[in-house]
Structure 1
Amino acid sequence: MKYMSKVSGLWSLYFQFLFLTLILLCSLNSVLSRKTSSFARSEYPSVDIPLDNEVFAVPKGYNAPQQVHITQGDYDGKAVIISWVTTEQPGSSKVFYGDVEGTYDRSAEGKTTNYTYYKYQSGYIHHCVIDGLEYEKKYYYKIGTGDSAREFWFQTPPKIDPDTPYIFGIIGDLGQTYNSLSTFEHYLQSGAQSVLYLGDLSYADRYEHFDGVRWDSWGRFIERSAAYQPWIWSAGNHEIEYAPHLGEFITFKQFLHRYQRPHIASKSSSPLWYAIRRASAHIIVLSSYSPFVKYTPQWLWLYNELKRVDREKTPWLIIIMHAPIYNSNEAHYMEGESIRAVFESWFVHYKVDLVFAGHVHAYERSYRISNIKYNVTSGARYPLPDKSAPVYITVGDGGNQEGLAGRFLDPQPDYSAFREASYGHSTLELKNRTHALYRWNRNDDGNPVTVDHVVFYNQYWASNRRRRRLKKYHSSLNDMSYIVTY
């Protein structure tokens, strides 16, 4: 009986060990094989929606506010910037707001600006900061006057906390085609609470004389979401709009007038790069088309901002930019190499969780890899697996008129985990300090289809927590000792 009991105990330990090994395998951040999807999309052509379509409808009423959108207005999510445009005259820049529907017992005064771009004259662009808000509360706001006044609402984020759940939507290169509309309508059904926007907004620069009218139509196009939840903006190449042949020498002119960002709150000298904290995430926005080499303002700012990150409070460290660092598509191949050479070692050192980019009109997700051992004279020639590195994800597939980037490099590089040339958007659901659920949703014949879905484990907390659990588990096994790598 003692022998049988001992054998039974050993078998019990053996099965516990197998179970533990299975858990470890399931907790890997990447799948075991690379995949290039063979899906071929054929739903809509890459054609812009006509300006008289209802998705661009001008709101009724004289001088009614239009193109309403909000973004985070401070570092920690207790303020919003509300922006809108009036066309006939400046009107009021005041926002009335409160936490009871129909009761606006508080107000804030905004500022008005406008601009010309070649022969285009913008409307009157209003920006108003509302601060001192309470976390996790619904606020109602009213802009405009008289019969033309319009009412909206927004929800403030939960307080900064490592275990606060939150859902981000990720969209890039949207434009204003029928594919754009498909992406946008699918996003509206996603349940996400704010958008990380990866650059290339209206594609107005693709029209003759960089037509600002297409900036106006795009602002009305996204209002159904952007007036109710913050879109966190990053700039793409189609926002540069440098046109000396038209007498326009100022870069990002139309974008900067229309879309505000809380850069001063994160001690940035430019609205093109900045940071916010929201729920359990620290979001850093970089500019792919501004100087970033050593000692430039963006380099100095990021150097200091990464030191400010407190993973005890905001465990999820996420970076968004426009040009991808890792990309295996023939379109824009290696365009992110210069910024990689400057910043990748910092991403690894600070254990950035995820880097999102757009620019390439396809979808791709990498493994956790880095190329920091490479130099021009010696060292590794190719990216290598690196547990401390972020996952790089390209979501440049919003639906603009330039069409899909359908030519991937063959064979698929070792660093590429999944790729597909289709339109879509992503969601990132932060569950707590240790893990998040990520989905890329393809627009398949008008229906959202989740094609790529991954559980991401937090670079800072998940590994430490697993180690503590394993240590506790091993200490309970008095009869045997194991060597487990993780």
Structure 2
Amino acid sequence: MRAVVIRMESALLAIILTSIVALSFLMNGNATGITSTFIRSEYPSVDIPLNNKVFAVPRGYNAPQQVHITQGDYDGKAVIISWVTADKPGDSKVQYGTSEKKYEFSAKGVMTNYTFYHYKSGYIHHCLVDGLEYDTKYYYKIGNGDSSREFWFTTPPKIDPNSHYIFGIIGDLGQTFNSLSTLEHYMKSAGQAVLFVGDLSYADRYEYNDVGLRWDTWGRFVEQSTAYQSWMWSAGNHEIDYMPYMGEVTPFKNYLQRYATPYLASGSSNPLWYAIRRASAHIIVLSSYSPFVKYTPQWMWLEAELKRVDREKTPWLIVLMHVPIYNSNEAHYMEGESMRAVFESWFVQYKVDVVFAGHVHAYERSYRFSNIQYNVTSGYQYPVPDKSAPVYITVGDGGNQEGLAGRFRDPQPNYSAFREASYGHSTLELINRTHALYHWNRNDDGNKTAVDAFVLHNQYWGANHGKRKLEKHNVRKIMMDEIATH
């Protein structure tokens, strides 16, 4: 037992030292970045066959399928529960309670369906369940008779600056065997909710009726997680589904029918951009493929939403988008430049802690850099270290059929801290108002491997409260407390 403890402490000290160095680099931006030389021996980048068990239709006539939940209000006391019945409308009612098999309450939802080319969707149900208690496990039941199904979820802790919470971050998932590896590894983590940075099913890589079919298979594929914890959705380019050759010209048609967001709760006029507060985090979701320049609805909403952020209550300010605004991969290089030009100054002004993006099928983390001094006459054309800037993290490495983006630009830009073309997922563990632990986990041929890890220091509480200095013993105490609680 003593040997095990010694090994744990040795590993812990190694993480602490690595974290201190990494944090120093994050804050000062004066280090040389790392380009990993790891070569991924991957599964074939093809979708899982339709007869695989991960796509199995649940037993029973008209049984609910593709079950998924997301936060249903601004502060985490509601969920939106969504599902599909394939054969007939059925009932949009959710029965729920705090004891298994005992459903004290019920809520009534709405039902819709749609067509895409000649594909006819099942009956899609969305039900808002509100008035919930914080930090409580709820059991819920949907469907009728022998075909009904039962699940559970746990609400987040109350809004509090020191609420402890763990987010998973996943992007560009798809439905390949690599996707399955990522999903399974995430489910083995302690993640309590997912921040999803766009590109869900990749159904748009199919044609005609197979587009709708692959939206259905993806919904059944991810149900093993989405039915039990909230996934906060953001849309990517593969959700646009603009296919004029099929007569389908309404952008985001499949996505908007199937995946609800609580956009009205944050005063948004569109479900593609919205905000929520959860535990100690204020999370802002942006749409890379909707108008965002000055005076557009998204721009005006974000200007107002940033003014609503109360860092005394929710110290962690997190932004989600699909297209990264700092990216040193040849894939999609500079695609985020227009959004950077519009929003980066706000990210710095409001001291956003971290910006998560997808789109590029690789992993990359930045130092704290900004390019807000640049204009057409200043001559300051290169990003510079900026202690008020967010850390930018690209996690478009979920496992989709397009494969990895393995061509990084050389030399590695000064703003790039670490980059690797592998599949994986991230977790962000909010310890308290000042510190969070971040991990990126590589999926190494079936093994969950933590590759990039560091302590993230809160921008607001550091800069505004004179706590920027991170001492070794403080980090060690936080890490030891974490081990003790787990």
- Asked if TM exceeds 0.5, the reply is yes
For residues 456-476 of structure 1, the C-alpha deviation after alignment (integer angstroms, 9 at most, x for no partner) is 100001234445989xxxxxx
Q: Would the alpha carbon gap of residues 84 and 468 (structure 1) be closer, same or farther in structure 2, given more than 3 Å must change?
A: closer
Q: Is the 8 A contact 1:43 1:446 kept in 2?
A: no
Q: How many residues align?
A: 449
Instruction: Output the CA distance in 2 between the equivalents of 1:425 and 1:192.
Output: 11
Instruction: Output the CA distance in 2 between the equivalents of 1:401 and 1:181.
Output: 12
Instruction: Output the CA distance in 2 between the equivalents of 1:93 and 1:24.
Output: 51
Q: Would the alpha carbon gap of residues 271 and 26 (structure 1) be closer, same or farther in structure 2, given more than 3 Å must change?
A: closer
The alpha-carbon deviation at position 24 of structure 1 amounts to 8.6
Instruction: Output the CA distance in 2 between the equivalents of 1:331 and 1:23.
Output: 29
**1:71-90, aligned counterparts within 5 Å?**
71-90=70-89
| Residue 161 of structure 2 corresponds to residue 162 of structure 1 | yes
Counterpart residue number, 1:17? none
**1:132-211, aligned counterparts within 5 Å?**
132-209=131-208, 211=211
**1:345-360, aligned counterparts within 5 Å?**
345-360=345-360
Q: Would the alpha carbon gap of residues 469 and 444 (structure 1) be closer, same or farther in structure 2, given more than 3 Å must change?
A: closer
Q: Is the 8 A contact 2:269 2:297 kept in 1?
A: yes
Instruction: Output the CA distance in 2 between the equivalents of 1:205 and 1:100.
Output: 41
Counterpart residue number, 1:37? 36
The alpha-carbon deviation at position 84 of structure 1 amounts to 0.2
Equivalent position SS for 1:84: strand
Equivalent position SS for 2:211: coil
Letter in 2 for 1:427: T
Counterpart residue number, 1:321? 321
The alpha-carbon deviation at position 26 of structure 1 amounts to 7.6
Q: Is the 8 A contact 1:29 1:455 kept in 2?
A: no
Q: Which of 24, 28, 35 pairs up with 1:28? A: 24
CA RMSD of aligned residues (A): 1.6
Question: Which runs of structure 1 show a deviation greater than 6 angstroms over 4 or more consecutive aligned residues?
Answer: 22-26
Instruction: Output the CA distance in 1 between the equivalents of 2:36 and 2:258.
Output: 38
The alpha-carbon deviation at position 323 of structure 1 amounts to 0.3
Identity %, equivalent residues = 75
Q: Would the alpha carbon gap of residues 25 and 239 (structure 1) be closer, same or farther in structure 2, given more than 3 Å must change?
A: closer
Q: Would the alpha carbon gap of residues 147 and 369 (structure 1) be closer, same or farther in structure 2, given more than 3 Å must change?
A: same
Most deviating of 372-381 and 108-117: 372-381
Instruction: Output the CA distance in 2 between the equivalents of 1:148 and 1:84.
Output: 13
| Residue 98 of structure 2 corresponds to residue 99 of structure 1 | yes
Letter in 1 for 2:297: P
Q: Is the 8 A contact 1:152 1:227 kept in 2?
A: yes
**1:232-251, aligned counterparts within 5 Å?**
232-251=232-251
**1:238-277, aligned counterparts within 5 Å?**
238-277=238-277
Letter in 2 for 1:196: L
The alpha-carbon deviation at position 376 of structure 1 amounts to 1.9
Counterpart residue number, 1:450? 450
Equivalent position SS for 1:413: coil
The alpha-carbon deviation at position 378 of structure 1 amounts to 2.0
Equivalent position SS for 1:277: strand
Counterpart residue number, 1:65? 64
Structure 1 residue ranges without an equivalent (≥5): 1-21, 471-486
Q: Is the 8 A contact 2:461 2:467 kept in 1?
A: no
Counterpart residue number, 2:11? none
Letter in 2 for 1:439: H
Structure 2 residue ranges without an equivalent (≥5): 1-17, 471-486
The alpha-carbon deviation at position 269 of structure 1 amounts to 0.1
Counterpart residue number, 2:54? 55
Instruction: Output the CA distance in 2 between the equivalents of 1:462 and 1:439.
Output: 21
The alpha-carbon deviation at position 119 of structure 1 amounts to 1.0
Q: Is the 8 A contact 2:426 2:438 kept in 1?
A: yes
Letter in 1 for 2:256: L
The structure number with the bigger radius of gyration is 1
Q: Is the 8 A contact 1:29 1:456 kept in 2?
A: no
